[in-house]
Amino acid sequence: MKKSILLILSLTLISALKAQSAKDIIIKADQKWQGLSQISSMEMTIVRPTWERTIAFKGWTKGRDYSLTLITAPAREKGQTFLKRQNEMWTWNPSINRLIKLPAAMMSQGWMGSDFTNDDILKESSIVVDYTHKIIGKEEINGIMCHKIELIPTEEAAVVWGKIIKWISIDETDQIKNEYYDEDEMLVKTDIASDIKLMGDRKIPTRIEVIPADKPGNKTIVIITNIKYNVKMDNSFFSQQNMKKLK
């Protein structure tokens, strides 16, 4: 009886430790990728079997609550900006000089026709807070040894995924591969990160391919052309005034 109690206790302890370390890895990977704040320039190419379109944008992000995004290409959308403050979103359209309030529900929609969602761009949900984490193995991805970690959303989390599997490099804590599953555990899309380069104070993957599971020949490629981490920005930087001033 005593033995079995001890066994249960130690098993609980081991699994608690393991869970803790999976969470630690996720926290570390998330902190490395997000920083406390960032200013980035990116190019996103939507690849379809018969055509390709490229969108370029610049983003100012602080934590998960504040972001400003400026579209820099193509010409027609250039100058359009998006502001997010907590749960509120606005878009500024310079061609008609009008500020438009956006519904928060638009977050889960594909961003400008891509395989990315607003949630990916505006970073609404948190891989740390909104999920529970478990290490389920080790695997090599493109020559990089990774922890394989399973993320299951917590009951109260309002997230779009039913499950995420992440491959995080053991040496550098980079998110090398992600698999996103829906609530029926069907694979929806896969991200693969590559081209690790020095960006500011850290080395990070600068090319991410997003491949939807059910659409062969389709993918979205994101290339980070520049990123600065932990730039000091006050919450008041994320304002309607600055939406109209971004260059």
The yes or no reply on residue 100 touching other proteins (CB under 8 A) is: yes
Which residues in 177-236 contact other proteins (CB under 8 A)?
235-236
Of 64 and 202, which has the nearer Cβ to other proteins? Answer: 64
Distance CA 134, CA 131 (A): 10
Contact 164, 181 (CB under 8 A): yes
Of 21 and 239, which has the nearer Cβ to other proteins? Answer: 239
Distance CA 229, CA 224 (A): 13
Distance CA 106, CA 38 (A): 23
Which residues in 73-92 contact other proteins (CB under 8 A)?
73-76, 78-79, 85, 87-88, 90
Of 16 and 100, which has the nearer Cβ to other proteins? Answer: 100
At a CB cut-off of 8 Å and minimum separation 6, what does 195 contact? Answer: 205, 206, 207, 223
Tell me, what amino acid is at 63?
A: G
Interface size with other proteins, residues (CB under 8 A): 37
The yes or no reply on residue 53 touching other proteins (CB under 8 A) is: yes
Of 79 and 200, which has the nearer Cβ to other proteins? Answer: 79
- Cα separations (Å) of 125 from 46, 108, 118, 201? 23, 11, 11, 25
Name the residues that contact other proteins, by CB under 8 A: 46, 48, 51, 53-54, 73-76, 78-79, 85, 87-88, 90, 95-98, 100-101, 103-106, 108-110, 113, 235-236, 238-241, 245, 247
